[in-house]
Structure 1
Amino acid sequence: MRYALAAALLVSAAHSTPAMAWGAIGHRITGAIAQDNLSGVARANVEILLGNEDLAEAATWPDDMRSDPSEFWQKTASPWHYVTVAGDDYQASDEPKEGDADAALKRFTATLRDSKASADDKRLALRFIVHIIGDLHQPLHAGGGTDRGGNDVKVTWFGKPTNLHTVWDSSMIEQRQLSYSEYAHWLERATTPEEVVTWSVRDLQVWMHESIALRKTIYPANPALSYDYAYQHRGEIDQRLKMAGVRIAAYLNWVFETPDDGGKTAKRR
C-alpha cells in the first residue's frame, strides 16, 4: 500500500506540473523561515491547529493532496496555485471564474479569521495560506497567459530535457544539494533585521508585481541551461524564498493577532 501511494504521488506530480510552484524543498524552505519568524500569538495558534506539524510540513500539503481523486483536489483547488496576469499588475479582470491564488488566499484568510469556522476548515485554510504565499513568490506563477507559466518553454538543464517552469520550481534549488533545513538556515543567516522589516508587506499586489517584473527577465535566449543560468539567477531565487518565508510569517502574525472575532484564539475540536 505504501509503495502504491508513493507511485500515485509521483504520477500525480508528473501530470500536475502547471499547478505546482516551488518543489517540495522550496516550499519547505519558505515554511521553515516562516516558522522562525512567527510571533508568540501566531505560533500558539498554529500549534493549536496543526499540533506537532510545523509550517515546513504544512507548506507542501496542498501539493501532496493532489493525489486525492476527489473533485475538490482534481478540479476545484487546481487553479489556486497561480495567477494569470495580462499586464504589469494584477487586475480584478484577471481573475477567472474558477478562481486563482489571489481569490483563494482572500477566501482562506476569511476562514482563518472566522470564529465560527470549524477547526478542520481553519486547518485547511492555514495550510493553503502558507502554500499560496510561497506560490506567489515564484515568478512563473504570475504568468502572462501564453505559455502556462513557462511549462511550454522547452529547455535542457545540464543536457536533460525539461521546461523553464521546472527549472525554477526545483532544478536550481536541488542543484545546491542542501536539505531544506540547511538551505533555510543559510538563507536566514544571510537575512538582515532591516530586510525582515522591509519585506514584511502583506499586500498581494506587491508580491505579484515583484514576481511579474522578475518573470520578464528570466526567459533564456539559449535553451541549453547550466551553470551560467544558475549563477545568473541564484541570487534572485534565494531572495524570493527568503521574502516568501518572511511574508508568510508577517501575514500569519497579522491574521492571528488582529482576528475578526475580537482576539480569541482558535479552539481545539
Structure 2
Amino acid sequence: MKKILTATAALVLAASPAFGWGKTGHRVTGAIAQQYLSDDARAAVEELLGVEDLAEASTWPDFMRSSSEEFWAAAGPYHYVTIPEGTQYDLSMAPEVGDAYTALQQFSAIVTNEDLPLDERQRALRFIVHIIGDLHQPLHVGDGTDRGGNDVTVVFFDTVTNLHLTWDDEMIDYDRLSYSELANWLSRRITPELADEWMVADPLVWISESAQIRPSLYPDDAELQYQYFFEHRDTMRTRMSQAGIRMAAYLNELFED
C-alpha cells in the first residue's frame, strides 16, 4: 500500500529528483568493480580517467545535474527505465531523448571511439559506470505511476522522506559506514562462485531483476523502522554487490583487446 502522510510532505517530496544509489551506494559499486577489471579494461579506464578510479567516477553524473550545459538539461531520463507492472522492457516506453538503457548503448559507442575528443569519452565512461549502478537500484526500474517511489512519502525511523530516497540513501547510510568500509565488507562475501554467477554483462537481465524485486519494496505502513530495514537490507547489499560485478563484466567486454 502506497501511503501519503500529509499533503504538505507530499508536495515537498514530490520535487525530489531520482538519483539512483546515493553517493555511498554508487561509490561502493565502483570500488567493487575496480577489483574485477581485466587488464585491458583497467588500462582503458586509466588511459581515459588517469588517477580517477571507478568509485570517484560513479557520482559525477549526479553532481553535473546542476550544470547549465544543454546536455545536462536533457540527461535526466538517462538514470532510469520504465516497465509497467506485468510487462517487459520495451523501447517504446523510453522518453524521446532516451532512457538508461538507450543511453548505455550510446555511451558505449562513444567511449570506444578513439576518434572522438577525450572529454566526450570521459563523460561517456563516467555515465556508463553510473547507469550500471542505477539499473541495479530496483526503484530506478519504475512502473510509470509514482516516479520510482519518489511520490510515496514514508518516515524512515525519524526522517520524513520518500521510498526512493530511502533506497538511495537512508537504508545504506543507516549503518554509518564509509563507502570503502561497506565495499570491503561486501567484497569479502563475494565468493568466486558468486562472482562467476553474477558476471552478466546484459543490461536487460539487470533491468528484469530490478523489475521483479520492485513490488516487494512497497511497504504496507508508511512508518519504516527496524522490521523494514531487517527485511530489505540483504536485498540492498546484494544489488550493490551485483552492480559492482556487472560493471566490471560490462567494461571487460567493452574494452576487450
TM-score where L is the length of structure 2: 0.92
SS of 1:155's equivalent?
Answer: strand
Residues 1:175 and 2:178 are matched in the alignment: no
1:229 counterpart = 2:228: yes
1:256 corresponds to 2:229: no
Q: In structure 1, the residue corresponding to 2:154 is in which secondary structure? A: strand
| Alpha-carbon shift at residue 15 of structure 1 (Å) | 9.1
Aligned to 2:200: 201
Would the aligned equivalents of 2:132 and 2:243 in 1 still touch at CA under 8 Å? yes
Secondary structure of the 2:161 match is strand
Distance 1:15 1:71, change over 3 A: farther
Is the CA contact (8 Å cut-off) linking 2:198 and 2:242 kept in structure 1?
Answer: yes
- Residue-by-residue CA offset, 1:131-190 (whole Å, 9 max, x unaligned): 000000000000000001000001101132110001000100000110000000000001
What stretches of structure 1 move > 3 A for 4+ residues in a row?
A: 14-17
Query: 77, 80, 84: which one pairs with 1:79?
Result: 77
Structure 2: unaligned runs, 5 residues or longer: 1-12
Unaligned runs of 5+ in 1: 1-13, 258-262, 264-269
Residues of 1 paired with 2:232 and 2:159: CA distance?
19
- Is contact 2:77-2:95 (8 Å) kept? no
Secondary structure of the structure 1 residue equivalent to 2:218: coil
Distance 1:17 1:250, change over 3 A: farther
TM, length-normalised to structure 1: 0.88
Count of aligned positions: 244
Corresponding residue for 2:162? 163
Distance in 1 between the 2:130 and 2:70 partners?
A: 20
Query: What RMSD over aligned residues (CA atoms) do the two structures have, in Å?
Result: 1.4
Aligned to 2:109: 110
Distance 2:217 2:31 in 1: 26
What percent identity do the matched residue pairs reach?
54
SS at match of 1:161: strand
SS at match of 2:17: helix
Do the aligned partners of residues 109 and 16 (structure 1) sit closer, same or farther apart at CA in structure 2, a change above 3 Å counting? farther
Q: Is the 8 A contact 1:153 1:164 kept in 2?
A: yes
Match of 2:114, SS?
coil
